[in-house]
Amino acid sequence: MSVYKILEQLRATSSRLEKEAILKKNEKNAVLRRVIFLALDPYTQFYQRKIPQYISAKKNQADSLDSVLDSLNVLSTRQSTGNEAIAFLTKLLSSLTEDDAKVLECVIQKDLDCGVQESTANKIWKDLIPSFPCMLASAFDQKLIDKVQFPALVQLKMDGMRFNAIVDAKTKTVEYRSRNGKEVQIDNWLMDEAFLTMAKNIGMANVVFDGELLVVDEDGKPLDRKTGNGILNKAVKGTISEAESKQVRATIWDVIPLLYFRQGKCNVDYETRLATVVTSIDNLGGNLKHLVSVVETTIANDLANAQKLFETYHAAGQEGIILKTRDGIWEDKRAKHQIKFKGELECDLLCVGWEEGTGKNKGKLGALVLTSSDGKINVSVGTGLTDQMRSTLTSKMVEGKIVTVKYNARINNKKGEDSLFLPVFLEIREDKTTADSSKKIK
């Protein structure tokens, strides 16, 4: 069976188990395995924002998909760039049958469009897709709080999109990646210049800046979460406009040499790393300084001081704070020395279904059917969806996507199943591919 037909089978079902069964049946298909790897591997990028127009080849004149995949290193290693790369990609697409060309489009765009992500692929082919490094903060836990050595650092918890700016000063390039390694396309050369200058300011040729992206209005004020992250989701999908790109701002809280980032561990203490971030930004020129800032940071002498800061931020409408120890190292894991204080509970769930509405919403989206990564928590969410979303979102557009929901408590529903009390839709996360497990959902 062709790779295209297998992907079509995967698109036809929203069941995670059925998708796994389809892949298991075809696990010896080497071309399928290769396609999935190239589409999902966070370290393989092709740097093409749009698929060019092309005319596919007739079956008896077409090249094999496998042989064309061999040629993609020309794009991934940037042997060809700009118009030369576009012409090269057009030639590749034109050398394939219509079905194989559609598969290649998915590979180039790093989106299989069939609900298969890293975790599913790795169940079939062990360790096929490497994870993209990301240090996460732990949820509030008194046992972790008791181990914090004060004075500690309190930082404002940002309400945008987590990202990394990966700087290669030798080639003078900057790549923007989401927390799972997807390319974030920011069409603003001044932003690139800012990060290249920051790396130069601290004497690092290959370095990763870690932080959050926000979107501001014409007065420089951050847009609300739904609007701002809606624009940033366009950057992940490659549909953001040049004008919208110029509204993007970066708030930075960490810096890690690229070598250590890829190894998953950097032993430099956090206080030193934060001071390095400050130095990199302090020396930015006036035309760049408005694009990047250091996260708002305060020293807390004890827990009571940290709680007071949280209450102040929360009363001002902010999401919360992160309490960080000064000696914490950077690791590709959920750190116990960085702890979140939040006013409301949130979780990321996988969309597995689309329910039609009733009354005025008949024929439109009524609710999204969501589940945890292990399938133990299930809930339908309609509250929070706008009229525009109900009219425009189709099942194909949402199934297989990660959805962020806020809620009041984890409960048992009338069927005795684990569910959520008063769930409210917040956003579709184009920058995430993995839902939370039931163990992480309080």
**Final residue of a domain: which of 70, 104, 124?**
124
Instruction: Give the pLDDT band (50/70/90) at residue 330.
Output: very high
Where a domain ends, among 124, 144, 168?
124
Query: What is the three-class DSSP state of 264?
Result: coil
Shared domain for 353 and 283, answered yes or no, is: no
Is the pLDDT assigned to residue 396 strictly greater than 90? Answer: no
- Flag whether 108 is in a domain: yes
Domain that holds residue 49: 3-124
CATH code: domain of residue 216: 3.30.470.30
pLDDT at 282: 94
Residue pointed to by tokens 């206080």: 271
Task: Identify which has the larger pLDDT, 139 or 279.
Answer: 279
Q: Per the domain annotation, does 336 fall within a domain?
A: no
Strand 161-168 to 365-371 pairing: unpaired
pLDDT, tens digit, 9 for 90 and up, residues 76-113: 998 999 999 999 999 999 999 999 999 999 999 998 99
Cα 32 to Cα 2: distance, rounded to the nearest angstrom: 8
pLDDT of residue 204: 92
Regarding whether 247 and 380 lie in a shared domain, the answer is no
Per residue in 230-254, pLDDT (tens digit) is 999 999 988 999 999 999 999 999 9
pLDDT at residue number 352: 93
- Are residues 181 and 103 located together in one domain of the fold? no
The per-residue pLDDT for 243 is 95
Domain membership flag for residue 119: yes
Q: Are residues 258 and 193 in the same domain?
A: yes
pLDDT at residue 344 greater than cutoff 80: no
- Confidence label for 160 from pLDDT (cuts 50, 70 and 90): very high
User: 133 in a domain, yes or no?
Assistant: no
27-31, 50-54, 320-324, 413-417, range with the lowest pLDDT: 413-417
Identity of the residue numbered 266: C
Q: Categorize the per-residue pLDDT at 215 as very low, low, confident or very high, splitting at 50, 70 and 90.
A: very high
**Would you state the pLDDT for residue 334?**
95
pLDDT at 120: 93
User: What band does 15 get if pLDDT is binned at 50, 70 and 90?
Assistant: confident
- In the prediction, which pLDDT does 20 show? 95
Residue 387 tokens read as 């009229």
Please write the tens of the pLDDT for every residue from 405-423.
Answer: 999 878 887 788 899 988 9
The span from the CA of 10 to the CA of 23, in Å, is: 8
**Could you read off the pLDDT of 316-329 as tens digits, one per residue?**
888 899 999 999 99
pLDDT on residue 101? 98
Over residues 268-281, mean pLDDT? 98
Torsion, CA 43, CA 90, CA 396, CA 419, rounded to 10: 10
Q: Determine the length of the chain.
A: 442
Residue 338, in any domain of the structure: no
**Are 102 and 161 in the same domain?**
no
How much of the chain exceeds pLDDT 70, in percent?
100
* Assigned domain for 76 exists: yes
Residue 13 belongs to some domain of the structure: yes
Give the pLDDT confidence score for residue 411 in this predicted structure.
Answer: 86
CA distance to 82, 189, 297, per residue, from 172 (Å): 15, 11, 30
CA-CA distances (angstroms) from residue 195 to 190, 191, 199, 255?
Answer: 9, 7, 6, 11
| 3-state helix, strand and coil shares in percent for the chain, rounded to the nearest 5 | 35, 25, 40
* 230 and 292 share one domain: yes
Q: Which of 331, 353, 378 is the last residue of a domain?
A: 331
> What is the total count of domains within the chain?
3
Question: pLDDT confidence of 216, banded at 50, 70, 90?
Answer: very high
My answer on whether 169 and 99 are in the same domain is no
Average pLDDT, rounded, for the chain:
93
Residue 439 lies in a domain: no
The pLDDT of residue 95 is 97
pLDDT at 298: 97
Q: Clarify whether residues 175 and 254 are in a common domain.
A: yes
Residue 291 is predicted with a pLDDT of: 97
**Per-residue pLDDT at 170:** 80
Specify the pLDDT at position 61: 92
Compute, in degrees rounded to 10, the torsion defined by CA atoms 289, 429, 155, 216: 30
| Residue-level pLDDT at 72 | 97
